[in-house]
Structures are given as C-alpha cells and as structure tokens.
C-alpha cells in the first residue's frame, strides 16, 4: 500500500484569530502538515518555510495597530513572500485574506490593496495560482472581546 504524500501548508499569521482556527481545523486532516509563520519570525524562517510548502495561506496582517506605520506589514510581508517565491522559482498556490475595506480611503485599506497588487503581479508573471478573498468582519471562537461589532 502506498502512503499519500503529505500536503505542507504554510499559514502566515497562524497565531491570529483566523489562523488559529484554521490551524486547529487543518490539524484534524491526517495528510496535512501545517507550517506556522507568526509575528516575530525572521525572513530566514519565512524563506525556509516557503521552500518546504506546497501551499501558502497568507492570513498575517495588521488591522488595528497602535502605530499607523505597522500597516506597512500588510504589504511588506506579502512583498517578501512574492520575492522568495520568485527567487526559488516555486509555483505554489497562495490563498490571501484581504478585506472588503480595500475600496475605502484609509491606511489599512491601502495596505491590503497594495498586498493584493503584489500577489496579482506574481500570478501574472510567474503563473502562480493566487486566490484573494476579501473578508468582511469575522467573528467566532478566540475572537477578541469588544474588538468587532455587529451592525
């Protein structure tokens, strides 16, 4: 009997609200190996993680930082991911969570839109499959209390 190859899934923002929930769910699948990239991890680790990955689920991002400069993380990390994929000539699919706010005129929306543009360029130039999901406010298990509101 031949054992199926495991699917190595890199989750950026694996300790965040969506990442934590997704990691728990995917860990229930016997043929999926989760590679976690979290705040504070190095570029060297990111490059190594990308090299080991078959798929990237890019969830990392800032949405309510104390300092507005932190919004740059939303596109800097995405730019690094795209750069490492190009350098390593990896043709792996990427799933990216953006925001329905990208049509607004604020630093958060501009940072998410910039990240989308990096990924769209990667898809066009390198033929990587890129799926961008613009999520509205999300709620659920491990959501920060008094963080989002329902209208």
CA dist., res. 57 & res. 79, Å (int): 15
C-alpha of 103 from chain center: 20
Closest alpha carbon to 113 in 127, 124, 98: 98
**108: annotated active-site residue:** yes
Candidate list 76, 108, 118, 147, residue with the active-site label: 108
Token code pair at residue 74: 């939303």
Q: Which residue has the tokens 């190996």?
A: 33
Active-site residue set: 108
């Amino acid at each position: 009997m031949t054992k199926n190859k495991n699917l190595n899934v890199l989750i950026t923002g694996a300790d965040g609200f969506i990442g934590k929930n997704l990691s728990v769910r995917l860990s229930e699948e016997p043929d999926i190996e989760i590679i976690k990239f979290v705040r504070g991890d190095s570029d060297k680790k990111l490059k190594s993680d990308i090299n080991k990955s078959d798929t990237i689920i890019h969830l990392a991002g800032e949405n309510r930082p104390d300092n507005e400069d932190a919004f740059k993380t939303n596109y800097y990390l995405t730019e690094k991911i795209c750069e490492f994929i190009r350098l390593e000539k990896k043709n792996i699919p990427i799933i990216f969570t953006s925001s329905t706010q990208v049509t607004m005129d604020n630093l958060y929306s501009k940072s998410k839109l910039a990240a989308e543009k990096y990924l769209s360029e990667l898809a066009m130039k390198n033929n990587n499959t890129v799926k961008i999901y613009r999520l509205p406010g999300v709620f659920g298990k491990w959501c920060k209390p008094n963080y989002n509101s329902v209208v």
